Structure 1
Amino acid sequence: MRRFSMVFRFCSDVTDPKMATSMEESVISNESPSAEKDSIDEDEVTQRLGRLGHEEDVTDEPKEPRVRETPEDIRFEAIVNTLAFHPTQDIFAAGDIDGDIYVYAYSCLEGANKELWSSGHHLKSCRELAFSQNGQMLFSVSKDKSIHIMDVEAGKLVTRIQKAHSVPINALLLIDENLLATGDDGGTLKVWDMRKGTAFMDLKHHEDYISGITIDQAKKILLTSSGDGTMGVFNIKRRRFELLSEFQSGDLTSVAIMKRGRKVVCGSSEGTIYIFNWNGFGATSDRFAVRAESVDSIVPITDSILCAASMDGVVRAINVLPNRVLGSVGQHVGEPIEQIARSHDGRFLASSAHDQLVKFWDISGLPKMEVSDYRRRKKKGGSLKSLSKKAFGTGDDFFSGLVEETEKKEQAEEEGDESDDDSDSGSD
């Protein structure tokens, strides 16, 4: 009896039914008549082996990759300082503090993000990246004072301008296919003609680093934000400096043109957004204190809505005039964010932070948001509204339901309690 049960266990593991049956018959023929009482039904053995084979076939079938709402996070070996998206393809570039540049293809299919190539030509930290308008070239500036131009498809260095500045370069703007503007840590602005490889403007009017550069649609007036607390105005058509704004408290960390060219917005290290009228650059027309440690990087999404990244690790959506914090797009919990960038189709926002991650956030719903001119009073210490499923774990967090119920209750209490003051000044 014991010997036969061992044979049965062996037969149940055999994948060939014919082999199992023949082995069973040979054992039964050698047994005594009393063993026939313990014989195993042949059909039962065959059924068990069939089920075993079917289970193996099911487990071997390849699973289709899951489609996510956003591409997966990408981890780098060092902190990423700067991000840039390709103008037409699902490709982005990242530059880190070691001077390395990485170019990735991104996708919402799980596991489909792919590194296309990397470069280590910069000797020190890569500070800023920008794709050319046709997407064929990638420009970069570095703490090593150089400007590099790389072929995007081949991943090879095409042009290098060594010692382009006498101090580390911090800011970069592609004006058109031939003109390039750069700003350095000492407050010097240069505008380059890349056909000649020389700068036709070399002006120093800031007393501290240039943090950001932008230009109007006519490609005439170039604006700079600086760590000295001023905004600079330069006329590149006439190749001259125009003026500096009045000093603001804290560093001006970023600059953007909004409201169809009628307003200029600057972020600051104090967490305040300063607003200038076009052709009224000397003094601010409005200011908006955001509940954030700083406003380090801003990206316009529409004429009125921008995304702002802060040292507190939160990416906020902000409406300008009327001034409102709309909510949180995403976050790097407890990690200062270096830069944010918008994808070519406007669907995603990417952010890089000190956790060495590049994260993607769904911002496709932001252009559809409507903001009332009336500002409701908001309780002090109230939580930010989550504007994406990934923001603060909404949808996955066990406590998300409690948060939603609390927000609904607060909203109900606020109904009918609208402010009589309809000015654009003040913060939420």
Structure 2
Amino acid sequence: MFENLCTLPLSSELFTQALHPTEPILTVGLSGGHVESFRLPAVAGNSSDDDDADTSVISTGTSTIDTEWRTRRHKGSCRTLAYSGDGEVLYSAGTDGLLKAADSSTGQVVSKILIPFDPSGKLDPPTLIHALTPQTLLLATDSAALHLFDLRAPSTLSTKPSQTHRPHDDYISSLTPLPPTENSTSGFSKQWVTTGGTTLAVTDLRRGVLVKSEDQEEELLSSVFVGGLPSRPGRGKGQKVLVGSSNGVLTLWERGVWDDQDERIIVDGGRGGGESLDALVLMPEGVGDGGKNVVVGVGDGTIRIVRLGPNKVTTELRHDEVEGVVGLGFDVEGRLISGGGSIIKIWQEKMNIEEEAEDDDSDDDEPGAKKRAMDGSDDDSDADSSEEEDRGRKSRKKRRKANRNKNAGNGIIGLKGLE
């Protein structure tokens, strides 16, 4: 179904990745605190003249991946990244306790905020961020806090969270927004599903935590929403949330029936349980075989494609021989982007024989982009920090492989000048 187009080496271990909603741009957050943005090559037949490409990073054989900008954004590891809905703002959060908003095209920081401390008064490292609406940003932390920030203040984030919820007893491992209902007037999501420890919860923007599942007796790590499934009488509208667990099992939850799981799919079996399912993404319409497929990032470095309906693994790809897959996504061109360890891989659908022949007839050699030094786009330090990278790597493995120490407190904001 997919073939590897190219492999992009990174300067340190990948903690997080984010894909631009309207352009073929990938941004990564690394264990050393660096954030780097890449422009991916255009799909064959869709390329256009681009005089703005600067730093050539790697050649795919027909074109290059270019660095848009690179900077050391956080003094600790960069834990999580998220684009705004229109792609103009890139949010990042790190173990230095800072949440930053930057111009996504330049990397220039436009505002920053101190993440609220944990109940003991210490830094509370973030686990994920999500731009729910143009007005609301969600931030989850190691201490199981879920903060909501109001983005309506001009040019800055609010001085403290407008709301804080604690839907779980353990750190929040995933967050999936639920699509708005037919009665919605705004068109934006107002509810979301989170996983944390061994439970799933649903939180409402106005009413707070609505429901929490029973203890699943297995750690829940990742989640994705899937609509348009065949519906059964009296069993919802064909909308489910899929959840990846620490033991290789994918569980299916019917929307509106949140007390317990509905079905189970064994993605990775084995004695004592399989490998962890750390990342999930729904295959877009127009990509693949036309059915409902979910791509799963596995702790053993493989990528499994699960066909819903038959509920079975149909394809297996290899991202890495050692490191697990921690990031998955599809760019605007429909290519699968996988991340884990110190590499990114770009996958495209395999062409059939006729398409390959047509492509060979129209091939033109393209010169590589000219290399130049990579300059940071703001005053963030770009110094290497191997000690911090080592600490970040150990911290990540601890958070991924075992239960976290249960550590949010009142927010203390630092809205200083631009970096």
TM-score by length of 2: 0.66
Quote the Cα distance in structure 2 between the aligned partners of 1:94 and 1:162.
21
Aligned with 2:282 (options 278, 286, 300): 300
Aligned with 1:269 (options 232, 246, 249): 246
Quote the Cα distance in structure 2 between the aligned partners of 1:296 and 1:345.
24
Trace 1:38-187 onto structure 2 (pairs within 5 A).
71-107=5-41, 109-110=60-61, 112-166=64-118, 167-187=124-144
Quote the Cα distance in structure 2 between the aligned partners of 1:159 and 1:187.
25
Q: Is the 8 A contact 2:223 2:244 kept in 1?
A: yes
Identical counterparts, % of pairs? 25
Structure 1 residue runs without a partner (length 5+): 1-68, 366-428
Aligned with 1:283 (options 260, 279, 297): 260
Q: Is the 8 A contact 1:71 1:113 kept in 2?
A: no
Structure 2 residue runs without a partner (length 5+): 43-59, 119-123, 181-188, 229-237, 269-273, 285-290, 352-419
Quote the Cα distance in structure 2 between the aligned partners of 1:113 and 1:135.
19
Q: Is the 8 A contact 1:259 1:304 kept in 2?
A: no
Deviation at 1:154, TM superposition (A): 2.1
Aligned with 2:305 (options 297, 317, 320): 317
Question: What is the letter of the counterpart of residue 161 of structure 1?
Answer: I
Q: Is the 8 A contact 2:68 2:106 kept in 1?
A: no
Trace 1:215-364 onto structure 2 (pairs within 5 A).
215-218=177-180, 219-226=189-196, 228-236=197-205, 238-260=206-228, 262-291=239-268, 292-302=274-284, 304-346=292-334, 348-354=335-341, 356-363=342-349
Q: Which has the higher contact order (CA 8 A, sep 6+)?
A: 2
Quote the Cα distance in structure 1 between the aligned partners of 2:22 and 2:350.
17
Match for residue 410 of structure 1? none
Q: Deviations over 1:219-276 (max 9, x none)?
A: 12211011x210111111x231111111113211011111336111110111111111
Quote the Cα distance in structure 2 between the aligned partners of 1:87 and 1:70.
22
Q: Deviations over 1:394-418 (max 9, x none)?
A: xxxxxxxxxxxxxxxxxxxxxxxxx
Deviation at 1:181, TM superposition (A): 0.9
Match for residue 383 of structure 1? none
Quote the Cα distance in structure 2 between the aligned partners of 1:173 and 1:277.
23
Q: Deviations over 1:118-171 (max 9, x none)?
A: 121211111111122222111112222221111122221111111345311101
Quote the Cα distance in structure 2 between the aligned partners of 1:363 and 1:266.
25
Q: Is the 8 A contact 2:6 2:347 kept in 1?
A: no
Q: Is the 8 A contact 2:243 2:251 kept in 1?
A: yes
Quote the Cα distance in structure 2 between the aligned partners of 1:342 and 1:169.
24
Quote the Cα distance in structure 2 between the aligned partners of 1:296 and 1:249.
17
Q: Secondary structure at the match of 2:299?
A: coil
Q: Secondary structure at the match of 1:88?
A: coil
Deviation at 1:77, TM superposition (A): 1.3
Match for residue 175 of structure 2? 213
Match for residue 161 of structure 2? 199
Quote the Cα distance in structure 2 between the aligned partners of 1:164 and 1:231.
24
Question: What is the letter of the counterpart of residue 351 of structure 1?
Answer: S
Deviation at 1:82, TM superposition (A): 1.1
Quote the Cα distance in structure 2 between the aligned partners of 1:168 and 1:278.
30
Q: Is the 8 A contact 1:96 1:126 kept in 2?
A: yes
Question: What is the letter of the counterpart of residue 262 of structure 1?
Answer: Q
Kindly tell me: are residues 145 and 232 of structure 1, through their superposed partners in 2, closer, same or farther at Cα, counting changes over 3 Å?
farther
Kindly tell me: are residues 175 and 334 of structure 1, through their superposed partners in 2, closer, same or farther at Cα, counting changes over 3 Å?
same
Quote the Cα distance in structure 2 between the aligned partners of 1:140 and 1:247.
31
Q: May I ask how many residue pairs the two structures share in their alignment? A: 294
Q: Is the 8 A contact 1:329 1:361 kept in 2?
A: no
Question: What is the letter of the counterpart of residue 175 of structure 1?
Answer: L
Deviation at 1:278, TM superposition (A): 0.9
Quote the Cα distance in structure 2 between the aligned partners of 1:269 and 1:322.
22
Question: What is the letter of the counterpart of residue 345 of structure 2?
Answer: K
Q: Which moved more, 1:105-114 or 1:81-90?
A: 105-114
Kindly tell me: are residues 262 and 178 of structure 1, through their superposed partners in 2, closer, same or farther at Cα, counting changes over 3 Å?
same
TM-score by length of 1: 0.65
Quote the Cα distance in structure 2 between the aligned partners of 1:159 and 1:245.
37
Quote the Cα distance in structure 2 between the aligned partners of 1:319 and 1:83.
25
Deviation at 1:326, TM superposition (A): 1.0
